[in-house]
Amino acid sequence: MIGRDGAGSRSTGSAARATLFGLVGIVGTSAFGWALALEPISPRPVTGRQTLQRPGVATPPAFREDAWHLPDEPLLGFVEIPAGAFLMGSDPSVDPMAFETEQWAPGQTRGTLEVPTFYIGRYEVTVAQFEAFVEDTGFAVDPRTLTGAADYPVAFVSWPDALAYARWLESRLRDWPDTPAELSRRLAQGWRVSLPSEAEWEKAARGTDGRIFPWGNAPGRDRANYARAGRASVGSLRCVECAHGLSDMSGNVWEWTRSPYQPYPYDETDDRENLEEDALWVMRGGGYNDTEQNARAAVRGAADPGVRREFIGFRLALTSF
Partner 1 sequence: MASPRTPRSRAERRQQQRQDAEDSARSPDSTTKGFLLPLSMTGLLVALSFLPRVQENPVLIRSFWGAAAVLLIWQVVLFTRLKRTSATRALVPLLRPQHYLQAAVQLSVFVYWGWFWRPVYDFAWLLVAQIVFAYAFDMLLAWSRRESYVLGFGPFPIIFSTNLFLWFRDDWFYLQFVMIAVGFLGKEFIRWNREGTKKHIFNPSAFSLGLFSVVLILTQASDLTWGQDIASTLTLAPRIYLFLFMLGLVVMYFFSITLVAGTAAAVLFGLSALYSAAQGVPYFVDSEIPAAVFLGLHLLVTDPSTSPRSPLGKTIFGAGYGLGVFGLYAVLGAIGAPTFYDKLLAVPLLNLSVRGIDRGVHAIRETPLLRRRRMDVAPRRLNLAHIAVWIVLFVVATATGRTDGRHTGDSLPFWEQACEEGRRNACRQLVQLKLTYCGDNSAWACNELGLHYMDGEVVPADTELALGYFSRACELRFQAGCLNLLQPESAVTSVPKELDLRLLLREGGVNLMGMSETELYTRACEHDWSFACSRVASST
Which residues sit at the interface with partner 1, rule CB under 8 A? 1-8, 14, 18, 158-160, 163-164, 167, 194, 258, 260, 271-272, 274-281, 304-306
Q: How far is the CB of 253 from partner 1 (least distance, A)?
A: 19
Nearer to partner 1, 4 or 44 (CB): 4
Cβ count near 204 (within 10 Å) = 28
Nearer to partner 1, 63 or 254 (CB): 254
CA dihedral over 28, 258, 203, 68, signed as positive or negative: negative
Q: Which residues pair with 79 in a beta bridge?
A: 120
Nearer to partner 1, 59 or 189 (CB): 189
Query: Which amino acid, 228?
Result: R
Angstrom CA distances, 215 to 85, 156, 312, stand at 19, 27, 22
Q: How far is the CB of 305 from partner 1 (least distance, A)?
A: 5
d(C-alpha 33, C-alpha 51), whole Å: 31
Nearer to partner 1, 151 or 200 (CB): 200
Q: What is the DSSP code string of 297-320?
A: TT-EEEE-TT---TTEE---EEE-
Nearer to partner 1, 140 or 212 (CB): 140
d(C-alpha 191, C-alpha 147), whole Å: 32
Q: How far is the CB of 17 from partner 1 (least distance, A)?
A: 9
| Beta-carbon contacts of residue 290 (< 8 Å; ≥ 6 apart) | 226, 227, 251, 311
d(C-alpha 125, C-alpha 162), whole Å: 9
Nearer to partner 1, 222 or 268 (CB): 268
Q: How far is the CB of 68 from partner 1 (least distance, A)?
A: 20
Q: How far is the CB of 307 from partner 1 (least distance, A)?
A: 9
Cα 124 to the chain's mean position, in Å? 7
What's the N-to-C CA distance of the chain in angstroms? Answer: 23
Q: How far is the CB of 318 from partner 1 (least distance, A)?
A: 15
